[in-house]
Amino acid sequence: MGGDTDSVQSSIIANSDDNLFTTKPEFSLLSGEIPALRSGRSFRDHHNTSEIEENEKRKNSIYAQVIKSYDDLTDRVENMEVAKQKVLSYTPGSWVENIGGMTPNVPKTTTLLLIGPKGSGKSSLVNRISRVFEDDKFAPDRAQATYNSSICDGTRFLQEYMIPRNSTSFCLYDTCGFSDVLYENLKMIEQWMTKGVCHGELANRMNCETRQDEFLTYERRRVDFVIFVVNGLSVLECMEISGADTPYMYRVAKIFNSPFLSFKDHKPVIAITHGDLLSISERARVRVFLGDTLGVHPSKQTFDIPDDCEPITEVAIVDLVRYALEHADRNLPFKSRSMISKARFCNK
């Protein structure tokens, strides 16, 4: 499934038939000849060719890192319980770095928002995460997963899920999938990120006061970090057609790069689903492609979560949640001086 980085990378570059990103270069930069004179090409053409070669080498190196990351997951399976307990012992603000002497505005519950295209597997991911942290592989689904997204709207109301269900430390918010209208998606995301989310709220309504049950009042929560969910199979299909120029990837890239989804310099973490339908090589290619298209590191900010019960998948789930919580704490807003003064007055 992997091997060490040097051997994988060497095999990728050495054999052009197995090279997933490049074709055999036209010039040898080690031949001692000057390509521009030998071929009659200009210096600019040679410079552009060198940039392309360097870019392809970089991609192959990253691909090798991603392949190796699957072996790393296998090596860490025996320590999974330690990593899981680290997340279960989390409380909001407990992983805050004390910088500049400022006091962060810590929420009672850290809120992680799941967004993504229709049918990307957001609800299924909620169920997977819940089972891992409740240590119950046979627990019934908490979130209603869509069976056929082409004939069903999927999630229509915002749904809050405490993880684990008897805790108040952090929660996942399941949302509706993107529509075909980019403007509507961006406005909906702007509302969630600026006005907060509320359990039972109609997800595709712009009116913030709409509730599933007008007689119940749920707490509105500030979004603390975002998990962006994409279907790996859909991404691979786009790669084989025309890459980022497909409507699916265009919409994903535009929404992912919305300034409302970023916390300072930190973009959302990416969860890739449906990897069980792909080979390891295809899953690695998807992660590299998403990294290049969305501007995130493929082996550090994309997490492959296939629909299986393998131990390495559970490790990936723990890693995904820990990454999201750490960044939620890292990017907590700071209290204003007026808020601090008011708190001190109330405590007297």
**66 and 115 inside one domain:** no
341: confidence class by pLDDT, cuts 50, 70, 90: very low
**54 and 152 inside one domain:** no
**235 and 286 inside one domain:** yes
pLDDT tens-place string over residues 5-25: 444 444 444 443 444 544 334
Among 25, 60, 75, give the residue marking a domain's end. Answer: 75
Tell which wins on pLDDT, 235 or 30: 235
**177 and 46 inside one domain:** no
What is the model's pLDDT at position 348? 40
Whether the per-residue pLDDT at 154 is higher than 70: the answer is: no
Whether the per-residue pLDDT at 215 is higher than 90: the answer is: no
* CA–CA distance, 172 with 153 (Å, rounded to integer): 20
- Whether residue 24 lies inside any domain: the answer is yes
Count the Cβ atoms, other than its own, within 10 Å of residue 39.
14
pLDDT tens-place string over residues 216-249: 578 999 999 999 999 999 999 999 998 778 999 9
**181 and 69 inside one domain:** no
| Radius of gyration from C-alpha coordinates of the chain | 23
What is the model's pLDDT at position 31? 40
* CA–CA distance, 250 with 56 (Å, rounded to integer): 23
Amino acid identity for residue 134 in this structure: E
**204 and 299 inside one domain:** yes
Count the Cβ atoms, other than its own, within 10 Å of residue 24.
8
- Whether residue 128 lies inside any domain: the answer is yes
282 burial level (CB within 10 Å; 0-12, 13-18, 19+): middle
> What proportions of the chain, in percent to the nearest 5, are helix, strand and coil?
45, 10, 40
Name the average pLDDT for the chain: 82
**32 and 118 inside one domain:** no
Whether the per-residue pLDDT at 41 is higher than 70: the answer is: no
Domain that holds residue 267: 110-330
* CA–CA distance, 168 with 147 (Å, rounded to integer): 30
Secondary structure class of 323 (helix, strand, coil): helix
- Whether residue 139 lies inside any domain: the answer is yes
Share of the chain above pLDDT 70, in %: 75
Count the Cβ atoms, other than its own, within 10 Å of residue 216.
9
**162 and 13 inside one domain:** no
pLDDT tens-place string over residues 286-308: 999 999 999 999 999 999 999 99
pTM tops 0.85: no
pLDDT tens-place string over residues 52-93: 888 889 889 999 999 999 999 999 999 999 999 999 999 999
Q: Which of 106, 120, 127, 219 is nearest to 172 (CA)?
A: 127
Average pLDDT estimate for 301-317? 95
Helices 311-330 and 122-134, interaxial angle, to 10°? 100
**36 and 131 inside one domain:** no
What is the model's pLDDT at position 74? 95
Count up the domains in the chain and report the number.
2
- Whether residue 293 lies inside any domain: the answer is yes
* CA–CA distance, 115 with 177 (Å, rounded to integer): 7
Whether the per-residue pLDDT at 271 is higher than 90: the answer is: yes
Structural element, H or E, at residue 119: none
Structure tokens, 40: 């009659």
Amino acid identity for residue 2 in this structure: G
**118 and 69 inside one domain:** no
Average pLDDT estimate for 175-196? 93
Q: Which of 231, 244, 227 is nearest to 275 (CA)?
A: 231
Q: Which of 317, 324, 321, 269 is nearest to 294 (CA)?
A: 269
Whether the per-residue pLDDT at 98 is higher than 80: the answer is: no
Structure tokens, 73: 């997951």
- Whether residue 170 lies inside any domain: the answer is yes
- Whether residue 237 lies inside any domain: the answer is yes
| CATH value at residue 310 | 3.40.50.300
Cβ 221 vs Cβ 152: under 8 Å: no
What is the model's pLDDT at position 172? 98
* CA–CA distance, 178 with 170 (Å, rounded to integer): 24
Average pLDDT estimate for 110-135? 95
pLDDT tens-place string over residues 159-172: 999 999 989 999 99
- Whether residue 196 lies inside any domain: the answer is yes
User: What are φ and ψ of residue 205, in 5° steps?
Assistant: -100, 140
- Whether residue 282 lies inside any domain: the answer is yes
**32 and 125 inside one domain:** no
Tell which wins on pLDDT, 320 or 264: 320
**45 and 121 inside one domain:** no
